[in-house]
A and B are shown apart, each in its own frame.
Chain A
């Protein structure tokens, strides 16, 4: 899920502050074991998310998935420990997720990558190039839907040829087409002036 353009007050806060606060609050939530304290915090996180003017339609599916997962967690914890403990754990996770949605949906992808590069900059001393890692991350997010599209096309073609769900019949063309995409994308990176030279210490 990538942040659409957001103009709320939260979007104007520097990404470093937002993610730093999220980290501290998330750790802090684990120190609280009373549902009476966690419930107001959960309500506050919901208000934070709503006040950040995020696109609620964009959140419908993730929230539904989250509710399903937390429902299972709640039942399992309640059966293994007790109901109070299950309520505390689920409230904690819900609060954390709502805060995370508020932060990530008010931060542009570009700003997140910049932050990642700053945080990962000590890796330079190990010979790694944070900019390359960040580009790799963004390209992974970019190309997952493309690869899914290729997978569906290949599967459809194999079905049309009567090959059914044969994994080999799908995986071989999928790998070949993925390599072709990788080749063309590498060429596009070169054409757009990307310097792929490794980081030199």
Chain B
């Protein structure tokens, strides 16, 4: 799978006079990228810039040749997003219909939609949830359904915003295994440092800037040191 580079060019994001991100310059080419940092450091904003959910106040973000400012809709076909709270991400009352929702937005024909829903559920071993009402799912099941709804759209990049925060240990490990299996690029914002052990690259965000960028073990050591300071 060819992965388009993601470029941040002098990106500043300002919310109500406050610089949430300041002059970020980055190119992401790796398949497994982690983003860590304290609460309010700008991690979630950085992740939301990738598919145009947040637009830069200054500078630009590019996925391949596409600028998020002008091509957000096109980029969202290729960059999926799994949110921290899956309950608010599941739109439809039934699981199978929720997974089909994104495909409908891509105007995929009904027969193909049904096939993809079936395949994706089977891929994640959650076929038994297909006819369940969304509000009856447990937290772990909801997170798997949220992932399925993104995977069904077959993006090449998936951004996860603190995906394991609301999960117990068992579900967290199961979700971690699913992320590890993905053929897609995974960009994971997390406080769960264990997830990042096998990653290719980890960014440490501090006060709206990239304070460290490197291999997981070094980045985690840097973050621990910063946290104790």
- How many chain B residues touch the partner (CB < 8 A)? 32
- Which one of B53, B85, B100, B133 contacts A191 once the chains associate, using CB atoms below 8 Å? B53
Q: Which residues of B contact A5 (CB under 8 A)?
A: 130-131
Q: Which residues of B contact A138 (CB under 8 A)?
A: 91-93, 97
**Chain B 99-132, CB within 8 Å of chain A: the 1/0 string?**
0111001100000000000000000000000110
Complex CA gap A191/B90 in Å reads: 12
Interface of A is mostly: helix
Knowing A109-B93, A109-B97 touch, does A191 contact B73 (C-beta < 8 A)? no
B155 to chain A minimum Cβ distance, whole angstroms, is: 10
From 151 to 201 in chain A, residues with beta carbon under 8 angstroms from any chain B beta carbon are: 181, 184-185, 187-195
Q: Which residues of B contact A181 (CB under 8 A)?
A: 88
- A2 to B76, Cβ gap below 8 A? no
- A193 to B88, Cβ gap below 8 A? no
B142 to chain A minimum Cβ distance, whole angstroms, is: 11
Decide yes or no whether B38 CB sits under 8 A from chain A: no
- Which one of B73, B85, B92, B149 contacts A142 once the chains associate, using CB atoms below 8 Å? B92
- Which one of A110, A135, A184, A192 contacts B102 once the chains associate, using CB atoms below 8 Å? A192
Knowing A2-B133, A142-B134 touch, does A192 contact B91 (C-beta < 8 A)? yes
From 130 to 153 in chain B, residues with beta carbon under 8 angstroms from any chain A beta carbon are: 130-131, 133-135, 149-150, 153
B123 to chain A minimum Cβ distance, whole angstroms, is: 18
- A192 to B149, Cβ gap below 8 A? yes
Decide yes or no whether B157 CB sits under 8 A from chain A: no
Total inter-chain residue pairs, C-beta < 8 Å: 80
Complex CA gap A8/B205 in Å reads: 56
A3 to chain B minimum Cβ distance, whole angstroms, is: 9
Q: Which residues of B contact A190 (CB under 8 A)?
A: 53, 76
Decide yes or no whether A141 CB sits under 8 A from chain B: yes
Decide yes or no whether A145 CB sits under 8 A from chain B: yes
Decide yes or no whether B212 CB sits under 8 A from chain A: no
- B97 to A194, Cβ gap below 8 A? no
Q: Which residues of A contact B131 (CB under 8 A)?
A: 4-5
Decide yes or no whether A139 CB sits under 8 A from chain B: yes
From 124 to 157 in chain A, residues with beta carbon under 8 angstroms from any chain B beta carbon are: 135, 138-139, 141-142, 145-146, 149
Chain B residue with the shortest CB-CB distance to A192: B102
Complex CA gap A130/B27 in Å reads: 42
Q: Which residues of A contact B48 (CB under 8 A)?
A: 187
Complex CA gap A190/B85 in Å reads: 16
- B94 to A109, Cβ gap below 8 A? yes
The 6 closest A-B pairs by CB, nearest first: A145-B135, A193-B105, A184-B88, A191-B81, A192-B102, A188-B89
Chain B residues near A (Cβ < 8 Å): 48, 51, 53, 73, 76-77, 80-81, 83, 85, 87-94, 97, 100-102, 105-106, 130-131, 133-135, 149-150, 153
- Can you name 14 A-B residue pairings with CB atoms under 8 Å? A2-B94, A2-B133, A4-B131, A5-B130, A108-B97, A110-B100, A142-B91, A146-B87, A146-B135, A187-B48, A188-B81, A189-B91, A192-B149, A193-B73
Chain A residues near B (Cβ < 8 Å): 2, 4-5, 108-110, 135, 138-139, 141-142, 145-146, 149, 181, 184-185, 187-195
